[in-house]
């Protein structure tokens, strides 16, 4: 009954990692397993050996039993500490890489809702509970939730990221193996949580390009975003010809923005989202806080489209689409 | 098994003459003599009975989950019912079983005896704590009988505030009331250990069990109020739509996770520190050896309690909290593993040159050391950031914390039950049956939970009512293990009940143990000691004895 998506035939035991991060994670897990396994085995051997040798009634020598030895205590405090810190540093290094998204990553908008995944490719190709991606190219998922917390989990990639309402989270990966892989929701989100599953299909780039242009096409996300930009009245202030003094949005994503209160930040999807819903939160230096909030007027999908339009304005190759 | 001879033994100092009044069990047989008692020992029995009842209910919920998970399809109960089952299992086992189990039952019974006191510092408050616990537990049960709730024991927002349609606020009320029981019990123990020690019993002469209960009490008093605050805020948001955690109302769902785990991670140590205390009493007694590295063991308990307050964010590595915060919490989580490792090494070293017997309490204690080690080591896997990204929210985590909570705390609870049973009841339990039950629990536990590590690595998410077919084989093993575990849990119910009437008389000190609690009669008189006991020179003053013990001469 879990195979409602026609998934199943191609799946079996979890194979080798299918993403660059997953290969690193497997190496880390293997080393953890070997280190911990060795220590556990040594302890088990010691306990069994002591239990046999010093069982009541045995003739083993029990003279001068020690009950304290600060050298021993120091050794078995500092040795684990050193090993632990080593593992920590390694795992933290790999974890840090997960938050450094390559500049050329392919952006895909993901919306989690009870109980399905909706995925939007930039050209307007839309999928439900399936994600097609090209082999070898970094992919950046911008994850949004419409209701409860969900979690986007692809075991073959050894990656998961919670999808939190009210903000965007980002998950990026570089697929390293062709094939179909399970997609699960990993954060309990209601009765049909265990049906919020699907698959990730990793294709050859040429196949992916063909796939992208086939099937049901809607206007590109950015085009919808541009429509919203006009119909919601954003253009009335943010347009170059406008008489109202408002920041330009063209090429905003990735730019450093200096704020009224002296902070500065790099504009990302969360910044654009917050600026639409909570415009007084990060006011740009040199501008008055006159923008009204659009909370309640835009849906999660509208926000995704608007952000995609802002992204398109900064992208030379696709800049004309809007 | 019935040839128990009472041997007060040369190891402990000669007990003071016993001319006390009736044993606490014979001191009144009316209902009021139990339900209005101020005697810490009777209150301990009240706790034990209530805890056993809740453990049974939580266990039934688990059994139904394991039946559901024997097949991939969700065909035994509905998805909604399944969510209510794992919520009931979690809420009951955490707040109504694990947290009160060893501290409230055995801590209550033993702490005054171990420090030579007449009772806890506040006996009436102690009884009040039990009533809070029972009332809170009844409210939680009421939420289940009204229709249950489906949030999971973690109550994550905004699901719990905006989307769940169960009896969330009722259950929260119960948990908050039980929390006050925890706070007052912790306070009582802290004051008792500070003020009621028999003259001459300095801090570093205390049994490690008392140290463990003391460290646990610090956590209970400091962390539980935060749980109460968090749950009350959650109830306010659910009832009045005040935006605290729900982004639709301007709140932040991660704030809830921070506040919840600020309590709930230290709560893990509330569950396992007392278990470490129990094992630190049992291992020296059955190895006839002084506990190795006593001071390190005591400091390790305090270190775990202290650092344990600073690691809560390791539950949130993929939640969207900042990567920097993740790194700090990860490093602190590795640090808290060091004192746990020290404890395992010291227990192992205690066996060296001992004279070891393998009675049921020792089997449970050794089982604890093994399973706690595996649980602790897999804790390193999930503390390692990049590994946790794959493992969190899968069955790997389920297995990890069950190795600590069940393999650790529950085994120690059974170990304590058998070790102190003669003291509590005055009767010996049947050794053969007890060893068999210990073996079943150990085997059944591993068969239940080891496959779950593999399932987690394979990617099976937790809280799944139905699952994809490739996970079935391991789930069948796990369900089979659970049925064996259930038999291991049920057996003691029968043979311990039998022993109440037919067990051999235990005498004051059947294990020839050195703790103060063994220097009074079994069961102890209401006032604990006929006269003020002398502080022992060495609470672990065991000497290896060669040759056979007078105990169980026919059984060895």
Q: At which residue do the structure tokens 């999908």 appear?
A: A301
Task: Count Cβ atoms within 10 A of the Cβ of residue B34 and give its class: 0-12 exposed, 13-18 middle, 19 or more buried.
Answer: middle
Q: How confident is the model at residue B545 (pLDDT cuts 50, 70, 90)?
A: low
Q: What is the pLDDT, as a whole number, of residue A140? A: 96
Beta strand A198-203 with A130-134: parallel, antiparallel or unpaired?
parallel
Of B78, B290, B389, the CB nearest to A159: B389
Q: Is A289 on the interface with B (CB under 8 A)?
A: no
Q: What is the tens place of the pLDDT at every residue in B243-277?
A: 899 988 889 999 999 999 999 999 999 999 999 99
- The C-alpha of B17 sits at a distance from chain A's nearest C-alpha, in angstroms, of 31
Of B326, B387, B468, the CB nearest to A28: B387
Of B319, B331, B457, the CB nearest to A162: B319
Decide if B556 is inside a domain: no
Q: How confident is the model at residue A65 (pLDDT cuts 50, 70, 90)?
A: confident
The full set of domains in chain A, from first to last, is 1-48+74-218 (2.60.40.420), 221-321 (1.10.760.10)
Two tokens at B439?
Answer: 């073996």
Report CB contact under 8 Å: A72, B349. Answer: yes
- The C-alpha of B516 sits at a distance from chain A's nearest C-alpha, in angstroms, of 21
Which position has the higher pLDDT, B82 or B532? B82
Q: What is the pLDDT, as a whole number, of residue A2? A: 37
Report CB contact under 8 Å: B252, A57. Answer: no
Task: Count Cβ atoms within 10 A of the Cβ of residue A38 and give its class: 0-12 exposed, 13-18 middle, 19 or more buried.
Answer: exposed
**Least confident residue range of A154-163, B305-314, B351-360, B544-553:** B544-553
Q: What is the pLDDT, as a whole number, of residue B532? A: 87
Decide if B92 is inside a domain: yes
Q: What is the pLDDT, as a whole number, of residue A215? A: 73
Is the separation of the CB atoms in B172 and B230 below 8 Å? no
Rounded to 5°, the CA angle B197-B199-B205 comes to: 65
In this prediction, residues B122-138 reach a mean pLDDT of 97
Count of other CB atoms within 10 angstroms of residue B472: 15
* Residue of B267, B219, B222 lying closest to B99 (CA atoms): B267
Residues of chain B with C-beta less than 8 angstroms from the C-beta of A81: 335, 338
Residues B343, B301: Cα–Cα separation, whole Å: 9
ipTM score of complex: 0.90
CATH of the domain at B69: 1.20.210.10
B-facing residues of A in 242-261 (CB < 8 A) are none
Decide if B550 is inside a domain: no
In this prediction, residues B162-168 reach a mean pLDDT of 90
* Residue of B218, B164, B211, B155 lying closest to B186 (CA atoms): B218
Decide if B531 is inside a domain: no
Is pLDDT at A151 greater than 60 in this prediction? yes
Decide if B127 is inside a domain: yes
Residues B88, B143: Cα–Cα separation, whole Å: 9
Residues B237, B164: Cα–Cα separation, whole Å: 13
Is the separation of the CB atoms in B267 and B219 below 8 Å? yes
In this prediction, residues B535-551 reach a mean pLDDT of 67
Residues B426, A252: Cα–Cα separation, whole Å: 79
Decide if B118 is inside a domain: yes
In this prediction, residues A19-25 reach a mean pLDDT of 94
Q: What is the pLDDT, as a whole number, of residue A14? A: 80
Report CB contact under 8 Å: B461, A114. Answer: no
Residues A278, B518: Cα–Cα separation, whole Å: 67
Q: What is the pLDDT, as a whole number, of residue A318? A: 43
Q: What is the pLDDT, as a whole number, of residue B432? A: 96
Test mutation, A52, A64, A186, chain B, max B CBs within 10 A: A186
B-facing residues of A in 42-61 (CB < 8 A) are 43-44, 46-47, 50-51, 54-57, 60-61
* Full DSSP string of A74-123: HHHHHHHHHHHHHHHHHHHHHHHHHT---TT-EEEEEEEETTEEEEE-TT
Cis peptide before B553 (omega within 30 of 0): no
Q: Is A114 on the interface with B (CB under 8 A)?
A: yes
Q: What is the tens place of the pLDDT at every residue in A169-214?
A: 999 999 999 999 999 999 999 999 999 999 999 999 999 999 998 8
Report CB contact under 8 Å: B377, A147. Answer: no
Q: What is the pLDDT, as a whole number, of residue B11? A: 46
Q: What is the tens place of the pLDDT at every residue in A244-266?
A: 888 888 889 888 999 999 999 99
Decide if B109 is inside a domain: yes
Q: How confident is the model at residue A89 (pLDDT cuts 50, 70, 90)?
A: very high
Two tokens at A91?
Answer: 């795992």
SS3 B200: coil
Q: What is the pLDDT, as a whole number, of residue A221? A: 85
Is the separation of the CB atoms in A135 and A204 below 8 Å? yes
Q: How confident is the model at residue A8 (pLDDT cuts 50, 70, 90)?
A: very low
Q: What is the tens place of the pLDDT at every residue in B193-217?
A: 999 999 999 999 999 999 999 999 9
Count of other CB atoms within 10 angstroms of residue B160: 29
- The C-alpha of A138 sits at a distance from chain B's nearest C-alpha, in angstroms, of 18
Residues of chain A with C-beta less than 8 angstroms from the C-beta of B158: 147-149, 165
Report CB contact under 8 Å: B393, A160. Answer: yes
**Least confident residue range of A219-228, B122-131, B279-288:** A219-228
Q: What is the pLDDT, as a whole number, of residue A62? A: 86
**Least confident residue range of A235-249, B211-225, B481-495:** A235-249
Q: What percent of chain B has pLDDT over 70?
A: 94
Q: How confident is the model at residue B447 (pLDDT cuts 50, 70, 90)?
A: very high
Task: Count Cβ atoms within 10 A of the Cβ of residue B284 and give its class: 0-12 exposed, 13-18 middle, 19 or more buried.
Answer: buried
DSSP-derived letter for residue B476 is: H
How many beta-carbon contacts under 8 Å exist across A and B? Answer: 289
Domains of chain B: total: 1
* Residue of A196, A235, A26 lying closest to A115 (CA atoms): A196
In this prediction, residues A67-88 reach a mean pLDDT of 93
User: Facing residues of A266 across strands?
Assistant: A256
Residues B422, B426: Cα–Cα separation, whole Å: 5
Q: How confident is the model at residue B52 (pLDDT cuts 50, 70, 90)?
A: very high
Q: How confident is the model at residue A116 (pLDDT cuts 50, 70, 90)?
A: very high
Residues A132, B306: Cα–Cα separation, whole Å: 48
Q: What is the tens place of the pLDDT at every residue in B70-110?
A: 999 999 999 999 999 999 999 999 999 999 999 999 999 99
Q: What is the tens place of the pLDDT at every residue in A267-308?
A: 999 999 999 998 988 999 988 888 999 988 899 989 999 998
Decide if B299 is inside a domain: yes
Nearest 5°: phi and psi at A294? -105, 15
Q: What is the pLDDT, as a whole number, of residue B7? A: 44
Report CB contact under 8 Å: B150, A39. Answer: no
Residues B100, B177: Cα–Cα separation, whole Å: 13
pLDDT, mean over chain A: 89
Q: What is the pLDDT, as a whole number, of residue B19? A: 56
Residues of chain B with C-beta less than 8 angstroms from the C-beta of A7: 468
Q: How confident is the model at residue B548 (pLDDT cuts 50, 70, 90)?
A: very low
Q: How confident is the model at residue B5 (pLDDT cuts 50, 70, 90)?
A: very low
Q: What percent of chain B has pLDDT over 90?
A: 88
- The C-alpha of A251 sits at a distance from chain B's nearest C-alpha, in angstroms, of 26
Is pLDDT at B330 greater than 50 in this prediction? yes
Nearest 5°: phi and psi at A79? -65, -50
Q: How confident is the model at residue A241 (pLDDT cuts 50, 70, 90)?
A: confident
* Residue of B98, B26, B21 lying closest to B59 (CA atoms): B98
- The secondary structure element, H or E, covering residue A224 is helix A221-231
Report CB contact under 8 Å: A54, B74. Answer: no
Residues of chain B with C-beta less than 8 angstroms from the C-beta of A185: 461
Residues B248, B250: Cα–Cα separation, whole Å: 6
Structural domain harbouring B56: 40-519
pLDDT, mean over chain B: 92
Q: What is the pLDDT, as a whole number, of residue B544? A: 65
Is pLDDT at B15 greater than 60 in this prediction? no
């Amino acid at each position: 009954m879990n195979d409602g998506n026609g998934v199943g035939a191609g799946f079996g035991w979890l194979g080798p990692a299918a993403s660059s991060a997953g290969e690193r994670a497997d190496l880390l897990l293997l080393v953890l397993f070997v280190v911990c396994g060795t220590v556990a085995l040594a302890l088990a051997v010691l306990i069994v050996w002591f239990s046999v040798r010093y069982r009541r009634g045995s003739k083993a020598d029990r003279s001068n039993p020690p009950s304290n030895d600060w050298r021993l205590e120091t050794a078995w405090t500092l040795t684990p500490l050193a090993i632990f810190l080593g593992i920590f540093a390694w795992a933290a290094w790999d974890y840090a890489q997960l938050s450094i998204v390559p500049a050329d990553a392919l952006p895909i908008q993901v919306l989690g809702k009870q109980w399905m995944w909706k995925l939007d490719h930039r050209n307007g190709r839309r999928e439900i509970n399936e994600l097609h991606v090209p082999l070898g190219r970094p992919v950046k998922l911008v994850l949004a939730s419409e209701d409860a917390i969900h979690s986007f989990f692809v075991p073959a990639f050894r990656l998961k990221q919670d999808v939190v309402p009210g903000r965007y989270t980002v998950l990026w990966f570089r697929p390293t193996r062709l094939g179909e892989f399970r997609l699960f929701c990993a954060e309990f989100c209601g009765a049909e949580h265990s049906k919020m599953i699907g698959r990730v299909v990793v294709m050859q780039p040429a196949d992916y390009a063909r796939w992208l242009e086939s099937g049901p096409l809607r206007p590109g996300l950015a085009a919808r975003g541009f429509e919203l930009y006009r119909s919601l009245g954003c253009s009335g202030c943010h347009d170059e010809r406008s008489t109202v003094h408002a920041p330009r949005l063209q090429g905003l994503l990735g730019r450093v923005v200096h704020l009224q209160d002296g902070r500065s930040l790099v504009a990302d999807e969360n910044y654009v989202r917050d600026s639409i819903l909570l415009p007084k939160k990060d006011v740009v230096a040199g501008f008055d806080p006159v923008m009204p909030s659009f909370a309640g007027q835009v849906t999660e999908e509208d926000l995704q489209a608007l952000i995609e339009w802002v992204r398109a304005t900064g992208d030379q190759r696709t800049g004309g689409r809007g | 098994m019935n040839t128990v001879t009472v041997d007060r033994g040369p190891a402990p100092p000669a007990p003071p003459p016993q001319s006390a009044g009736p044993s606490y069990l014979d001191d009144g047989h009316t209902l009021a003599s139990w339900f209005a008692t101020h005697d810490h020992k009777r209150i301990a029995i009240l706790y034990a009975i209530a805890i056993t009842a809740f453990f049974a209910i939580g266990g039934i919920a688990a059994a139904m989950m394991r039946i559901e998970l024997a097949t991939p399809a969700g065909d035994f109960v509905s998805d909604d019912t399944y969510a209510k089952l794992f919520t009931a299992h979690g809420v009951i086992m955490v707040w109504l079983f694990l947290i009160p189990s060893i501290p409230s039952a055995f801590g209550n019974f033993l702490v005054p005896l171990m420090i030579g006191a007449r009772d806890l510092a506040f006996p009436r408050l102690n009884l009040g704590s039990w009533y809070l616990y029972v009332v809170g537990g009844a409210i939680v049960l009421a939420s289940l009988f009204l229709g249950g709730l489906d949030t999971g024991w973690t109550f994550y927002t905004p699901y719990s505030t905006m989307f769940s349609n169960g009896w969330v606020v009722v259950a929260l009320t119960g948990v908050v009331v039980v929390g006050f029981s925890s706070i007052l019990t912790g306070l009582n123990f802290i004051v008792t250990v500070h003020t009621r020690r028999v003259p001459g019993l300095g801090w570093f002469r205390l049994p490690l069990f008392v140290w463990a209960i003391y460290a646990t009490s610090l956590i209970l008093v400091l962390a539980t109020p935060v749980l109460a605050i968090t749950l009350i805020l959650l109830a306010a948001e659910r009832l009045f739509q005040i935006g605290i955690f729900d982004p639709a109302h301007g709140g932040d769902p991660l704030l809830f996770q921070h506040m919840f785990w600020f309590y709930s991670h230290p709560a893990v140590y509330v569950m396992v520190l007392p278990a470490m205390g129990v094992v630190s009493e049992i291992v020296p007694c059955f190895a006839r050896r002084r506990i190795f590295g006593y001071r390190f063991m005591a400091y390790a308990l305090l270190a775990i309690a202290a650092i344990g307050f600073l690691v809560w964010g390791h539950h949130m590595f993929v939640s969207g909290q900042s990567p920097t915060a993740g790194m700090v919490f990860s490093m602190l989580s590795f640090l808290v593993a060091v004192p746990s490792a020290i404890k395992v090494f010291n227990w192992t070293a205690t066996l060296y040159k001992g004279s070891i017997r393998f009675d049921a309490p020792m089997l449970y204690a050794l089982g604890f050391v093994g399973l706690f080690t595996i649980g602790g080591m897999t804790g390193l896997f999930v503390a390692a950031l990049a590994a946790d990204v794959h493992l969190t929210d899968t069955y790997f985590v389920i297995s990890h914390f069950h190795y600590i909570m069940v393999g650790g705390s529950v085994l120690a609870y059974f170990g304590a039950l058998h070790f102190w049973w003669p003291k509590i009841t005055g009767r010996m339990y049947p050794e053969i049956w007890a060893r068999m039950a210990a073996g079943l629990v150990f085997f059944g536990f591993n068969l239940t939970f080891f496959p779950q590590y593999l399932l987690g690595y394979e990617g099976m998410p937790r809280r799944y009512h139905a699952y994809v077919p490739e996970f079935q084989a391991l789930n069948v093993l796990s369900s089979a293990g659970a049925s064996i575990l259930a038999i291991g849990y049920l057996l003691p119910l029968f043979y311990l009940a039998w022993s109440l009437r037919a067990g051999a008389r235990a005498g004051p000190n059947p294990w020839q143990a050195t703790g103060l609690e063994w220097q009074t009669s079994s069961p102890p008189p209401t006032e604990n000691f006929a006269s003020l006991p002398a502080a022992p020179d060495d609470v672990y003053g065991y000497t290896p004895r060669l040759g056979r013990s007078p105990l169980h001469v026919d059984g060895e």
